[in-house]
Structure 1
Amino acid sequence: MRSVLPALLLLSVVLVACRPETVRAPDAYPLSGTVSGRWGDSPRLRLALVGTGVPGAVRNDSAIGQNLEGNGLSGWQFGFELPAPGVFNVAGVYQVVAFDDANNNARYDLGETVARNRKWLVVSPVAARLPEVTLPELLGGGEVLPAMTVRSGWNVYDQSQPLGNANPAPFTTLTSYDLSR
């Protein structure tokens, strides 16, 4: 019996680790906001984390925990699970975008209808001064974000505000990350 007990304990740990992530209310995620705009009839809306690491590792990931709920007024509330900052071994500049998954492949593809904003999610494994970043084609290309100082973890840079001590700002929970088209 003693030899079976460790195997059963290991099996239960594996099963708990493999269970599907539960869907939570949108405001229970680290990143939340609204999606608005014209999307046509019966859109297949999804969210994706897209961007680039410094230097140049492009990411397009929609297989991240998320919840997108219609509010009945042709808008949606969403919640999005950001990866733990420790997952990234380099700094990166990202956005969460909403897109109409027209080909139903659960991945944002160029040409699909998309909504985004002017807030950039900057992640760094350590506090650092980051160089300016030219964005990949996936995010419109050619746009340059200025050199900036960030803290370890997730930071938000709002392009509509001046770069300074409070911009970019570190966060663990960010609400009102609204997306529109």
Structure 2
Amino acid sequence: MRLSLPALVLLPLALAACGKQQVKPPADYALSGQIAGNWGASPQLRLALVGTGVPIAVTNNSAVAQNVVSSGANAWNFGFDLPGIPSIAGVYQVVAFDDANNDAKFNLGETVARNRLWLIFSPAGGTFGPLKLPDTWPGGSAELLPAMTVSRGWNVYDQSQALGGGNPRAFTTLADYNISR
């Protein structure tokens, strides 16, 4: 019995080392903000990083460390960890969705909300864009984003504001990335 006692003591430590990351308060994530609006009764809110890399590499990733906490009626605080530095330039948004089928994935048809902030990753500083829809898409050749100057790493572009004067701007943590329905 003495030989198995150390194994029994070490087993919980080994399992703890292999466990999930600890959930952090929303403000401790790289991206944080509030989700607001009417999502219906008992929504199962999750977040997903959606977007595209250049050249085309579609992203729909909800398997990112995150925390959504109710803060009152139709209000939630959230935190979301942006993935490590991607290898290609890209344009993304974090969207909130009601995970109706509880599969932890953003599926077409699930209730979704987003904002007008674009998260732009660039492996090097310089000019990014313009980004246009391919000619083969409905409304093809339409400009999604104008040409802009970005820094290396993550940048945020507020589509509702004029370019320049800190728009876009580089960040390592971003609070007030608010999403509403």
Structure 2 residue aligned with 1:69 = 69
The C-alpha deviation readout for 1:88-145, integer Å capped at 9, x for no partner, is: 1110000001001112221111221111100000011111311222469xxxx96611
Post-superposition offset of 1:19 = 3.4
Runs (4+) of structure 1 moved beyond 3 Å? Answer: none
Question: Contact 1:46–1:101 (CA<8 Å) still a contact in 2?
Answer: yes
Q: Name the CA distance, whole Å, in 2 between partners of 1:39 and 1:97.
A: 14
TM-score, normalisation: structure 2: 0.83
> Structure 1 regions of 5+ residues with no counterpart?
1-11
TM-score, normalisation: structure 1: 0.83
Name the count of aligned residue pairs. 163
Q: Secondary structure at the match of 2:79?
A: strand
Question: Contact 1:51–1:94 (CA<8 Å) still a contact in 2?
Answer: yes
Structure 2 residue aligned with 1:97 = 95
Of the two, which has the highest radius of gyration? 2
> Structure 2 regions of 5+ residues with no counterpart?
1-12, 135-139
CA RMSD of aligned residues (A): 2.2
Identity of aligned residues (%): 59
Question: Contact 2:90–2:120 (CA<8 Å) still a contact in 1?
Answer: yes
Question: Contact 2:130–2:143 (CA<8 Å) still a contact in 1?
Answer: no
Select which of 115, 118, 136 maps to 1:117: 115
Letter of the structure 2 residue corresponding to residue 53 of structure 1: G
Map 1:1-181; keep pairs closer than 5 Å.
Answer: 16=17, 18-85=18-85, 88-134=86-132, 144-181=144-181
Q: Name the CA distance, whole Å, in 1 between partners of 2:27 and 2:143.
A: 31
